[in-house]
Structure 1
Amino acid sequence: MGIITVGAVRERAPGERRVALVPEAVTRLRQAGIDVLVEAGAGAGAWFADADYAAAGAAVVTAEELYERADAVLCVGLPDAETSVALRSGQALIGLLAPLGHPDRVDEWAERGITAVSLDLLPRTLSRAQSMDALTSQASVAGYKAVLVAADSYDRFLPMLTTAAGTSKPAAVLVLGAGVAGLQAIATARRLGAVVSAYDVRPASRGEVESLGARFLDLSAVTSGAGTGGYARELTEQEQRAQQEALDAHIARSDIVITTAQVPGRKPPLLVTAQALERMGPGSVVVDMAASDLGGNVELSKPDKTAVLYSGVTVIGAGNLPSAMATAASTAYARNIGALLTHLVRDGALVIDPDDEIQAGVVVTHGGEIVNQALAAVLVGSDGTLEGVS
């Protein structure tokens, strides 16, 4: 029986502090008969030292040695083009590769004979895939952090407080999107004592919202936006206008608004317009978790930027919140990637089985071909509006 070698690389994207493996995960992989390499300094952004990896049984190596020796290269986000050149034919690349937004890279992987495995394509409806669901684990971290970011910029208390100096009313928090990120944001805001409302186009999300003690907004002008697989469908232009008009009034009355809507590989839906921002009160805070180079849920948000607009509304573009909690996010992600590896590895080798439901979802390219049957259809048109991938 052979022994497969995997290697966790250092993330090179600006501002990215996460790492694909943490020392705890190295120990488990070694126990499963998998050799582990870690690029020197890979865990520094998440406060994991090279010595911690070595103590767990990993070999700490240079990037060049890692690419030379590893059968599978593990990453968090899509490696840049320069880094990807180091990949060789027959090698596997495993991470959140976002193939929906990078079809040119998919073609490149196929042409170069690279086996690309993308966790963001995991079939989330399969119960046996839950331990591998990196989108869920990272969205949960992001939803929690979004509330803390908002609270830090909000110049008042979130809970109702009664002191000798008087009573402060609780903050009114509105969460748009009730998927994993939205539900975690709701729960966190409630723990901090805020009065929370939430909206999602999927009627089925009402029960989840209310179970957390939040009020579910009824927008009578908007019909059901339920789609397939637990996602929301994309609303028509007329439905989007009706939704926006109904939402604007609720946004204006909110002290904090957190938006979570993302659509894989496509521009996020606009939920908070400039007109809505202008109607908000001084000191209000808006956190756009979908802010990216493609746009965001908030009309004037910019990725990784904070701006104070109009009469004092703070707009925060927070598209990569898991990186802001790199230790927790990396620990969760490493467990996801470890679970996937133990599913893929058989008798010391990476075994690609197109008939396996999980692999049919996550394996993008293999053997010089694009093998993901659903990828082309999703690239042409994905469903999802008010929740998308989070």
Structure 2
Amino acid sequence: MNSTQNTGLQLVSQIQLWARELGFSQIGVASVDLSSAEAGLSAWLAQGFHGEMAYMASHGLKRARPAELVPGTVSVITARMNYLPRDTPADWQAVEFSRLTRPDEAIVSVYARGRDYHKVLRARLQKLSERIAAHVGPLGFRVFTDSAPVLEAELASRSGQGWRGKHTLVLSRDAGSMFFLGEIYLDLALPATEPTSEHCGSCSACIDICPTQAILAPQRLDARRCISYLTIEHAGPIPEEMRPLLANRIYGCDDCQLACPWNKFAQRSALPDFDERAGLSGAKLITLLGWTEEEFLRYTEGSPIRRIGVERWRRNIAVAMGNAIRGGLADAHMQQALEASASNDTPLVREHASWALAQGVAPPTSP
């Protein structure tokens, strides 16, 4: 090993120490050559699996070409941050699945119950970058957290954060998949960290559990069928045939992760930022539908939920209420709340509220 390589490895080790002080769980380094991923990205986009997420296609193959996205980039630091709340119980997967047995309860994805991860990771990645710059001198860098056309999971898997699970998420033997990823694009050459091997084997738990069969095959996801996409990214009416499959999930879906055996090793966050906020875990659907726009903005301040806006929020809740009614839940207060939305809300919400009310009407019998 020459002195340059040794210096690079020492710097990576120092960066890993600084990162842990900032709450990151693991740091890796990837090269900028992602050419082998371009064909898969192009095919996925060509099949329309990205749905209405136009940003996925708008930058073309720049997603797989870091040096084109940020000219001068020669290496990428990848960062992992665990997000399970600090008080998460040992049997958390069973606890989360049990929410599906309470149809009047709203299910918000675990990652969204605390502070907006974009803000948390971006601020800490910026601090890490500045610390590196203070150590090495003039440095060109740009930080990303699910905020630009970056092949995040590809970079993470190439840098040893884990392997691509069959659900397309990155999986770690030490931390499952309950973590956020972020990147720092650098004009500083650093030695790449070693990738890890895959450990899914013949397991198909994530594919089998998916409520909408959005995982078409290992590592092949049709986002248009994914509940996370439908409740968060999709702006218009939720397709009627998909509505019953949402059950009482109103923001995201964790099922593929809850079913994954590796998530018994999921780690609790070291930060209070991802602790559950009051009102976003175990809340009743009727309570959340009753939020005014002002209350929605107040209760979701600093939360990733705010990005969908109050209209999609109510749309999703109306669908969940319809599913509760379809399942036999007779609740006069829920009925009244839906009737009010069906009369007085936006056209999008009115349509979903009317659909929900119709779920309690028995179909006519044949003569």
- TM-score relative to the length of structure 1: 0.23
- TM-score relative to the length of structure 2: 0.24
**Bigger strand fraction:** 1
**Bigger helix fraction:** 2
